[in-house]
Amino acid sequence: MSAVQGACVPAKIPLRADLSLTAERGQREVFCGLTGIIWLHRKIQDAFFLVVGSRTCAHLIQSAAGVMIFAEPRFATAIIDERDLAGLADANVELDRVVTQLLERRPEIKLLFLVGSCPSEVIKLDLSRAALRLSARFSPQVRVLNYSGSGIETTFTQGEDACLASLVPGLPGTAPEAPPNLLVVGTLADVVEDQLRLLFDAIGIADVQFFPPRHSTELPAVGPQTRFLLAQPFLADTARTLEERGARHIAAPFPLGAEGTQHWFEAAGAAFGVAAADVRRVTLASYERAQRSLARYREQLSGRRIFFFPDSQLEIPLARFLSTELGMQLVEVGTPYLHRAHLAAELALLPAGTRLVEGQHVENQLDRCRAERPDLVVCGLGLANPLEAQGLTTKWSIELVFTPIQGFNQAADLAELFARPLVRRSRLVA
Amino acid sequence: MQLTVWTYEGPPHVGAMRIATAMQGVHYVLHAPQGDTYADLLFTMIERLPRRPPVTYTTFQARDLGGDTAGLFQQAARDAYDRFQPSAMLVGSSCTAELIQDDPGGLAHALRLPVPVVALELPSYQKKENWGAAETFYQLVRALAGPFALPPGGKRPARDPGVRASCNILGPSALGFRHRDDVRAVTEILDQLGVDVNVVAPLGATPEDLKRLGAADFNVLLYPEIGGQAAAWLARHFDQATVKTVPIGLGATREFIAEVAALAGVDPAPALSGAPSHSSWYSHSVDSTYLTGKRVFVFGDATHAIAAARIAAEELGFTVVGLGSYSREFAREVREAAKRYGVEALITDDYLQVEASVAELQPELVLGTQMERHIAKRLKVPCAVISAPVHVQDFPARYSPQMGFEGANVIFDSFVHPLMMGLEEHLLTMFRGDFEFNDAAPASHLGSTAGAAASVAANAAAPAVGTPVAAPVVPTDAAPANAVPTVPATGYVWAPDAERELGKIPFFVRGKARRNTERYAVERSVALITVETLYDAKAHYSR
């Protein structure tokens, strides 16, 4: 190991001279990519996620899901046992047996993801071959794909990235003379998709599809005429695979807050030849309503100091929203990984002097956080109560992934998520 | 490979975390990939501990695998020692680190830390959480108390009669089902008996406390799943007897008091007479006659499942129709208990199998874990939670033990409250078919307009027929007055008059009556279900 644990080394390419970026290594207090299954299985309603892993993987998903919310979940774990490791049982034969058992139980499943885990990666169980083999066996009723949600390769939301990237090669192609189409990439709540679609229609971009789709049978077409807009900041591999299919990325900030959403629509408009003024005419009512609804939260949040622990890669867009639209002061913005190209438009909007930290050394970060005494700390569930017990006010970061927060109509909901812990603390007298 | 939807127990290193977190001054360095830190939230969110579990994870990533993961472990162990200054350390691997075989024990030993370091070998692909907790506690006890053990075959010197007897309380841990409150309840009993508590462990104990476990005259073992292995070792090496009765329920509490009193040489009367138990009187009160023979299904860890079955049968007058446990290590004990109720024990950690069993047995009450709560919810059967795996609700703000006489009161409430109360059930039977009081009528406080049509339909049904069983709420079946017989795939049809008769049965047992009648019809190849079939089935299934 060359890097000393916890040492802060300056990153190679400073993005803006007035931003400070340090990379940190040490204990990471983050979820692995398997956690994405919790929202992905709600989004793709005929898909099943089979983790090939250990009891730890099964325990993680059920614990992270808030312990058994869903009566009949569309996820499960094929738990590797000693016989598989000792070579007494052929792991592939065992996997085929488990998949057969599963599909007999759940005949409505159309798409099965075999999800790799730390143990399956370490023992080099080849799930891509298994997926091909099982796809051949169960097609056309069921398609079988694979991706890795392992902690050694993916952090939290990167699991969604890996999942979506695995779907891209199977997307249908667009016809050679097809007109340009727009693909919105990244899981959004259905209600948010519906709102965004109405605005795209009004702007004059009619051929809009969302990815991932609600059903595995409604896969969007992709080709050289496709322009894609990211709805989430953690989709590096998905974007790359889409580009390999000829699709082109539309650079934009993310649709968080009134300004972020406005910029996002304007970027889409520009890519489809719609002037910014025309986009603004369409979105004006929504934009103004969002601004009005944000006003009361601006009063509550303006001037408050916020500290982000790394979690979902949403931290930088959220920090931008909170500082530019609500006047919050950014003490530290941690992110598990910084994709400089996808985040370029966001980074450009951050206030001068913002302290960005990529990666994590949780103990050192906690020391900094306690020393700074911010008004609000955004962190994971393992850290929130211990920090509250020390008198700090916290916001669970996982809620920012599960709650509809994108678009004009959700801007105030997003602000409220940050205001609520502060309001609560001010109400409690005992 | 095993297909698993939900799991009753986590991996064994989570068991080790339960021990480390329960204790003071112990730090656990876990060789584990990024993501395994999820386990922290079990303690901070479910148990709502105001501090992080004392665990450092190496959180290695793929890029580390080609490099020096052993160095990463050593760095993490050294940093953890420097930062937290524990009095003892635990080191070990999670499931993934077990595969890369870095030997945390040897690596930590090489660091020559100035505190005891206990290396844990927890085979993740073989064992589970409770085993991991038991093994961790045992290894800690052995490492810390071991130097003070009696010589092999040595006997304890007799206690000076002028000195009060003392005992250790073994087994309570973090994330345990009401462990915090049980310790208080049991300590109160011991106090009434005049028995001192030497050490409670692992909950609240320091490594120093474990060193002096041998000073007690005997051990009280509250949770054999966690403390059994350590208690057996202490019995061998310190000649300490073990109180094995777990005081859950009235009968068990009395036996526990007798067992402790005999070992301590004290009079059990103060603890027995000072027993304010409402549960016994409530169970004898006339209102409780409706509890008689309620069919209950019991599932949980071995200790709580066995205790719940005994309470259900002996202290509430229920009928145990199923008893099972996910604690494979205690399968023998559960099987023995099941024999007492004439049922076959269900030993499984397969949630789907438990669900199938509940569905088949059609109990009127399920006593289980949070998993069975979901099964029961789906099958519309009332349920009370009796055992881990735990949920945030299993850490109530109030004092709510399972053990001792107060524990028996708590259990009476928690088993009985999910059921319809006796008087309530009686009234429903009396007024069945009442024009305002039927399943189609809206609640009276919602006004009178909504349910007018439904009331007329219900009124058409004449009052009659004895209630076959006193059951809790089951799925309500709409039974239209002029039903046209439909032919289900199963080959029987309901005659219109039988269908009407079914409609007179109170809604909360109607689903069950329908199911029983149909099952009766299928078993006897009855093609047309008549009123006679309905009552034949009722007679057949009545108790």
* pLDDT tens-place string over residues A152-175: 999 999 999 999 999 999 999 999
* pLDDT tens track for B259-297: 999 999 999 999 998 666 789 999 999 888 888 999 999
**Residue A158, SS3?**
helix
- Asked if residue B319 and residue B204 are part of one domain, the reply reads no
The DSSP output letter for B62 is H
Mean pLDDT, chain B, rounded, equals 88
CA angle B201, B205, B206 (to 5 degrees): 135
Structurally, how many domains does chain A consist of?
2
Same domain, A373 and A353: yes
Show residues of chain B in contact with A63, CB under 8 Å.
Answer: 10, 38-39, 41-42
pLDDT for the residue numbered B447: 53
Helix (H, G, I), strand (E, B) or coil at B265: coil
Q: Alpha carbon of B74 to those of B78, B114, B356: distances in Å? A: 6, 15, 48
Q: How confident is the model at residue B434 (pLDDT cuts 50, 70, 90)?
A: low
- In the predicted model, what is the mean pLDDT of residues A180-204? 96
Q: What CATH number does residue B397 fall under?
A: 3.40.50.1980
Nearest CA in chain A to B83: A363
For residue B26, tell me if it sits in a domain: yes
Q: Please give the average per-residue pLDDT across B231-244, as a whole number.
A: 97
pLDDT digits (tens, 9 = 90+) for A127-148: 999 999 999 999 999 999 999 9
- Contacts of B399-403 with C-beta under 8 Å, sequence gap 24+, read B399/B181, B399/B184, B400/B178, B400/B181, B401/B178, B401/B181, B401/B182, B401/B184, B401/B185, B402/B177, B402/B178, B402/B181, B402/B182, B402/B248, B402/B304, B402/B307, B403/B182, B403/B185, B403/B186, B403/B222, B403/B246, B403/B247, B403/B248, B403/B253
Q: What is the DSSP string of B69-119?
A: HHHHHHHHHHHHHHHH--SEEEEEE-HHHHHHT--HHHHHHHTT-SS-EEE
Q: Looking at the predicted structure, is the pLDDT value of residue B376 above 60?
A: yes
CA angle A27, A32, A33 (to 5 degrees): 150
Contact B374 A122 (CB under 8 A): no
pLDDT at A237: 97
Say whether pLDDT at B359 is over 70.
yes
**pLDDT in the model for residue B452:** 43
On whether both B213 and B241 belong to a single domain, the answer is yes
pLDDT at A262 over 90: yes
A37 vs B475, more confident: A37
Cα gap B317→B295, rounded to integer Å: 10
Of B252, B273, B294, the residue that ends a domain is B273
Query: Could you tell me if A161 and A235 are in contact, meaning their C-beta atoms sit under 8 angstroms apart?
Result: yes
- The answer to whether A358 and A375 are in contact (CB under 8 A) is no
Tell me what pLDDT residue B460 has: 38
In this structure, are B328 and B352 located in the same domain? yes
Rounded to an integer, what is the distance from CA A229 to the centroid of its chain?
14
Residue B18 has pLDDT above 50, yes or no: yes
Considering only residues 22 to 51 of chain A, which have any Cβ-Cβ distance to chain B shorter than 8 Å?
Answer: 26-35
> Domain with A302 in it: what CATH number?
3.40.50.1980
Instruction: Identify the band that residue B110 occupies on the pLDDT scale cut at 50, 70 and 90.
Output: very high
Cβ contacts from A onto B, under 8 A: 197
Please give the residue of chain B at the shortest CA–CA distance from A85: B125
Per-residue pLDDT at B386 exceeds 70: yes
Please judge whether A67 and B60 are an interchain contact, meaning their C-beta atoms are less than 8 angstroms apart: no
Name the pLDDT band for B431 (thresholds 50, 70, 90): low
Residue B384 forms beta bridges with which residues?
B367
A226, part of any domain: no
| Residue A86 confidence (pLDDT) | 85
Task: Judge whether residue A419 has pLDDT over 50.
Answer: yes
Number of domains in chain B: 4
Q: What is chain A's mean pLDDT, rounded? A: 93
Q: What percent of chain B has pLDDT over 70?
A: 86
| More confident position, A403 or B171 | B171
Contact present, B417 and B202 (Cβ < 8 Å)? no
Alpha-helix residue ranges (DSSP H) falling in B203-277: 207-211, 224-238, 250-264, 269-273
Average pLDDT over residues A217-230: 96
**Together in a domain, A25 and A80:** no
Q: Would the CB atoms of A78 and B13 count as touching at under 8 Å?
A: no
Asked if A223 reaches chain B (Cβ–Cβ under 8 Å), the answer is no
Residues B156 and B267 placed together within one structural domain of the fold? yes
Q: Are strands A75-79 and B2-4 parallel, antiparallel or unpaired?
A: antiparallel
Instruction: Give the per-residue pLDDT at B427.
Output: 59
CA nearest B390 in A: which residue? Answer: A67
Statement to judge: residues A112 and A20 lie in one domain: no
Q: Which of the four pLDDT bands, split at 50, 70 and 90, describes residue B463? A: very low
How many CA atoms are closer than 13 Å to the CA of B221, on its beta-carbon side?
21
Task: Provide the pLDDT for residue B472.
Answer: 33
Position B114 in a domain: yes
How many angstroms separate the Cα of B283 from the Cα of each of B286, B297, B367, B413, B427? Answer: 8, 19, 18, 11, 20
Instruction: Evaluate if residue A314 carries a pLDDT over 90.
Output: yes
Residue of A304, A377, A430 whose CA lies nearest to A29: A377
Residue A218 lies in a domain: no
Name the packing angle between helices B370-379 and B351-361 (round to 10°): 40
How far is it, in rounded angstroms, from Cα A252 to Cα A52? 36
Residues B95, A54: C-beta atoms closer than 8 Å: yes
Q: What would the pLDDT profile of A359-398 be if each residue is shown by its tens digit? A: 999 999 999 999 999 999 999 999 999 999 999 999 999 8
User: Which SS3 state, helix, strand or coil, does residue A64 take?
Assistant: helix
Place of tokens 């973090």: B174
At residue B275, the pLDDT reads 64
User: Within a domain: residue A219?
Assistant: no
Mean pLDDT of B77-89: 98
CB contact under 8 A, A30 and B37: yes
Does residue A178 sit within a domain? no
Domain boundary residue, one of A122, A154, A186 = A154
Q: Which two tokens stand for residue A277?
A: 């003024």
Please provide the size of chain A in residues.
Answer: 430
Q: Domain of residue B242: give its range.
A: 147-273
Per the structure, the complete domain to which residue A111 belongs is given by: 33-154
Task: Please compute the mean of the pLDDT values over residues A262-280 and round it to a whole number.
Answer: 97
Determine contact: A64 vs chain B, CB below 8 A. yes
Residue B506 confidence (pLDDT) above 80:
no
Please indicate, yes or no, if residue A172 is contained in any of the structural domains: no
Ranges A207-221, B176-190, B503-517: which has the least confidence: B503-517
Return the pLDDT at A53.
97
Three-state DSSP class for residue B9: coil
Interface contact B44-A382, CB threshold 8 A: yes
Query: What pLDDT, on a 0 to 100 scale, did the predictor assign at position B439?
Result: 57
Q: Are residues A116 and A150 in the same domain?
A: yes
pLDDT of residue A328: 98
3-state secondary structure B308-340: HHHHHHHHCCCEEEEEEECCHHHHHHHHHHHHH
pLDDT in tens, B51-61: 999 999 999 99
Q: Considering the domain boundaries, does residue B133 fall inside one?
A: no
User: Residue A402's pLDDT band (boundaries 50, 70, 90)?
Assistant: confident
Q: Which of A45-59, A303-317, B361-375 comes out lowest in average pLDDT?
A: B361-375
Q: pLDDT band for B422, please (50, 70, 90 cuts).
A: low
Read off the pLDDT of residues B146-163 as tens digits, 9 standing for 90 and up: 999 999 988 998 888 889
Scan for tokens 């309530």, then name that residue: B424
pLDDT at B433 (0 to 100): 55
- Do B26 and B90 contact (CB within 8 A), yes or no? yes
pLDDT at B430: 56
Residue A339 has pLDDT above 80, yes or no: yes
Q: Is residue B303 scored above 70 in pLDDT?
A: yes
The answer to whether the bond into A140 is cis (omega within 30° of 0) is yes
B287 is catalytic: yes
Nearest-CA distance from B371 to chain A in Å?
8
| Cα–Cα distance measured from residue B36 to residue B14, given in angstroms and rounded to the nearest whole number | 10
- Kindly report the pTM of this predicted structure: 0.89
For residue B116, cis peptide bond before it (omega within 30 degrees of 0): no
Question: Residues A298, A423: one domain?
Answer: yes
Among B238, B258, B273, the domain-final residue is: B273
Of B196, B239, B287, B536, the active-site residue reads: B287
- Helix, strand or coil for residue B348? coil
CA separation for the pair B257, B268 (Å, rounded) = 6
- Weakest mean pLDDT among A30-34, B62-66, B377-381, B482-486: B482-486
Give the per-residue pLDDT at A247.
97
Q: What is the pLDDT of residues A63-89, one digit of tens each?
A: 887 644 555 689 999 999 999 998 877
